[in-house]
Amino acid sequence: MKKSILYGAIFGLIAPLVGLFLGLQVLPILGDVLLLPFHLISKSTNSSLGNLSFLLKMMGLVLSMFFWAFIFWVAASFNKKRTDKE
């Protein structure tokens, strides 16, 4: 479980960069999902992603780390429950 949280936090650091590339070049929906914490901050402050201040960008990065760590933890716990039943 602790490994999944760590992997999620590391993914949260990488996801915004990958999301920007994928959103612009490959698949906009996947880019939006990877940038979800930044979109939430952008909508709550009523400004675009490019106009966010440095503090809000850092807060988005920390929020992204927590968000993806939570998602990875939930996925690991569901996987653990499923493998325990078998």
Output the DSSP codes for the chain: -HHHHHHHHHHHHHHHHHHHHIIIII-HHHHHHHTHHHHHHHHHHTS-GGG--HHHHHHHHHHHHHHHHHHHHHHHHHHHHHHHH-
Largest CA distance in the chain: 50
Instruction: Kindly state whether residue 13 falls inside one of the protein's structural domains.
Output: yes
Instruction: Kindly state whether residue 17 falls inside one of the protein's structural domains.
Output: yes
Instruction: Kindly state whether residue 7 falls inside one of the protein's structural domains.
Output: yes
Instruction: Kindly state whether residue 86 falls inside one of the protein's structural domains.
Output: no
Domain that holds residue 6: 2-81
Instruction: Kindly state whether residue 10 falls inside one of the protein's structural domains.
Output: yes
Reported confidence tier of residue 55, pLDDT bands at 50, 70, 90:
very high
Number of domains in the chain: 1
Looking at residue 53, its pLDDT comes to: 92
Residue 49 scores a pLDDT above 90: no
The residue among 11 and 86 whose pLDDT is bigger is: 11
Q: What are phi and psi of 76, to 5 degrees?
A: -70, -40
Looking at residue 85, its pLDDT comes to: 66
